[in-house]
Structure 1
């Protein structure tokens, strides 16, 4: 597959630029030299002899197989089901990066998300039926200028300080490390989603349109942005909770910075890894924010509307610690984050990943506040504490690495009368470094009674994920 991509890319470049294919192929082979014997490498084509102009490609996919314990009153494709088995494409991405000049670069990411047998496409039956033809769209599309580059263009030596300025549809987010998370280097089977505070509301799959700066001040890594949120216009009910309504059109502001005590991370893209198999000693402390004035609205009484500022704060710690003898390649990965969300009075958001369920109209038992399928209380006005830990087992194979992990989230939502405890437990099976991963994971979620706002039941979900990154 990789060879075919190289050949295809070279042919495209030859047709566009009229360059010598043999010369480009030579550059591609040099650029993809593997630093780690277990890593497949990267597809990078140098466009000049200095190596400061290049074109890079990346492909990733995550395929999910699941067994879901549905919430009460769930129907799937019109049939009542307590348990559902499904398969889906969680993510399928293509990334194109280009260093156009030593100072100027372009980043594009395209792909699809969340396609299953019943979701991700059209509705009904036939050629455009349920689940079919999931939309392919741009996730990221931005240009970036190196004001102060990481490495001096003349000497090639690292600069102590660097600064980059960019604009477009981007994911240089604020709040936390997890809000800027890489989806190809996650510790667990997936991200908890509440790490993206405006996901698919005032953003496009955790991206907004705007300008951003990022860089380093010695050991402080930072990113800040000013954006135009995507428009929302939900109408609140009388005496009900705040809903997303930013019709006044105010800008949003976001920022995140972290201090690096040990090894420093290179942030050439916005995505911060949650798992590097503890190859290097890392300890980072970070904090961030997101704010958008008049971004939600409530209706305390008939025809009296109130606007509310949305503000989110986050503070986190991330560490990776190699343990034991070096040849054992053991290591501990730990991440913990605290979020404070303010979306307005009693704001509550409910969601379920690749939710296959719809309402069973004949169900007469006790229903959950979360609704049907695998819906859960995602986030809302209140606090969330989330922690995860993983441990790479001692080396026993030249090909396979095993890493058990555990996630825990404690959600304290103002609209509910009892805290929610959410668990994930599983293991990663890595083949050839982090290019190929199989995940086995079990998740447990609470269900709330609508009237009392307290937990009355729990449901689970088993996931088997297959991930490839090239």
Structure 2
């Protein structure tokens, strides 16, 4: 276990244990006082604590050739901690803010040697006005699309597969060291980010198939711009909500980009190494509104179109919280081990999501709600002969709003193999079923 990581965790926990004064007027979803200590009577300076934990119970049909501890397996059932986060926000003045966050990710049966509490975020922000603020450090501040920065109040069990598709390649748990400028001008908000991506040490360049380069990385430039037709959204954190459960009336149109010069490379027919830029562009539309506030019903919808250019025939296969340890190359599909599937590549990706809350089950306390949702991701990638289509359907039980919820999700994914002409075609489809419990504190 990493001693420095343990120290970070102990510091955050000790800060919470000595925390004594909370603001009684503000209540969280549990109807308890929020974990905020105000430093002045105007409530413009404060220290606040927040965090969450996500527990998964899962059954997965594994990709062909999957191994768990060198034993061939076609399916797996497991318990895991998908994410654990502890966050402190310190605002010593009206203009200055500091954010420190630690946690761990993907603690599963294969993570015995890597279960550690890590420093995730550490950045400072200075706000000149609502129109412009500047920040720097390690964080998830970045552009491209609404869900690129990671999870917040997801409508389904987790983020769509494409959203954080560079995770572990050019970033660390969706985080980079960088600087950003952001602001809100009336109904319009923006963020512009320049960051140092991490080097993805993969393989030597291949013929006509782009991979991440081992060379020194260039800067990662990204941005996201959004117009709010109805209620404005909070931009105090990098995360965008997947649903407000009827608490806001939101219709927003967004567009973004992400660019890294010479992020990729490949070989031409003469075995010359060619460098390729990573160029990603996206547009999305988000709608979330109450239907009947007295009953608690609401609707949430999201649509996204993205064009990705990573170089020729690039496809990235990723398995979130993968239950497999390796794969038998003689039996493997193109997907690789476990629950891996194509999540991004050179080409176009489209995503739609629809859901909402049903009437309160406890009408007197206005509590306990069911929240069904469905989604589909379609990726038309140059490196795949058949389109990659991923389906999700789920239902959540909101026990204390979004702060305590139980979600069941069924996901169906494609499995790719090479046909006699070496085209990547869908040869099978596999299921994954996840029962997730998430609890937030703030």
The answer to whether the superposition gives a TM-score over 0.5 is: yes
Write the mapping of 1:244-393 to structure 2, written as runs, cut at 5 A: 244-245=212-213, 247-301=215-269, 303-323=271-291, 325-359=292-326, 361=328, 367-393=332-358
Cα distance change on mapping 1:167 and 1:88 into 2, 3 Å: same
How many Å separate the matches in 2 of 1:96 and 1:454?
Answer: 47
State how many pairs are aligned.
425
How many Å separate the matches in 1 of 2:356 and 2:235?
Answer: 24
C-alpha contact (below 8 Å) 1:236/1:242 kept by paired residues: no
C-alpha contact (below 8 Å) 2:12/2:88 kept by paired residues: no
- More moved, 351-360 vs 387-396: 351-360
SS of the counterpart of 2:202?
coil
Map of 2:416 onto structure 1 = 448
2:46 is aligned with 1:60: no
Shift of 1:40: 4.3
Deviations 1:276-320 (A, max 9, x none): 112221100000000011111111246511101101101000001
Aligned counterpart in structure 1 of residue 140 of structure 2, from 171, 184, 189: 171
Shift of 1:390: 0.7
2:134 is aligned with 1:134: no
How many Å separate the matches in 1 of 2:307 and 2:373?
Answer: 25
What's the Cα RMSD here?
2.2
Deviations 1:331-356 (A, max 9, x none): 10001111111111111111111212
SS of the counterpart of 1:140?
strand
SS of the counterpart of 2:148?
helix
C-alpha contact (below 8 Å) 1:40/1:435 kept by paired residues: no
Cα distance change on mapping 1:177 and 1:10 into 2, 3 Å: closer
How many Å separate the matches in 2 of 1:246 and 1:6?
Answer: 36
Map of 2:431 onto structure 1 = 460
Map of 2:387 onto structure 1 = 419
C-alpha contact (below 8 Å) 1:352/1:375 kept by paired residues: yes
Cα distance change on mapping 1:262 and 1:235 into 2, 3 Å: same
Cα distance change on mapping 1:456 and 1:197 into 2, 3 Å: closer
C-alpha contact (below 8 Å) 2:199/2:216 kept by paired residues: no
TM-score, normalised relative to structure 2: 0.91
Shift of 1:466: 0.6
Cα distance change on mapping 1:449 and 1:136 into 2, 3 Å: same
Aligned counterpart in structure 2 of residue 83 of structure 1, from 65, 75, 81: 75
Map of 1:117 onto structure 2 = 109
Shift of 1:235: 3.6
How many Å separate the matches in 1 of 2:124 and 2:391?
Answer: 39
Question: Structure 1, unaligned stretches of length 5 or more?
Answer: 14-23, 123-132, 151-161
Shift of 1:444: 0.2
2:59 is aligned with 1:92: no
SS of the counterpart of 2:356?
strand
SS of the counterpart of 2:41?
coil
How many Å separate the matches in 2 of 1:439 and 1:176?
Answer: 24
How many Å separate the matches in 2 of 1:197 and 1:441?
Answer: 20
C-alpha contact (below 8 Å) 2:102/2:118 kept by paired residues: yes
SS of the counterpart of 1:377?
strand
SS of the counterpart of 1:180?
coil
Shift of 1:439: 0.4
Cα distance change on mapping 1:266 and 1:359 into 2, 3 Å: closer
C-alpha contact (below 8 Å) 1:184/1:469 kept by paired residues: no
How many Å separate the matches in 2 of 1:211 and 1:6?
Answer: 24
How many Å separate the matches in 2 of 1:260 and 1:423?
Answer: 29
Cα distance change on mapping 1:72 and 1:6 into 2, 3 Å: closer
How many Å separate the matches in 2 of 1:6 and 1:212?
Answer: 25
Map of 2:376 onto structure 1 = 408
SS of the counterpart of 1:30?
strand
C-alpha contact (below 8 Å) 1:233/1:244 kept by paired residues: yes
Map of 2:125 onto structure 1 = 144
How many Å separate the matches in 1 of 2:88 and 2:387?
Answer: 43
How many Å separate the matches in 1 of 2:290 and 2:59?
Answer: 35
Map of 1:30 onto structure 2 = 24
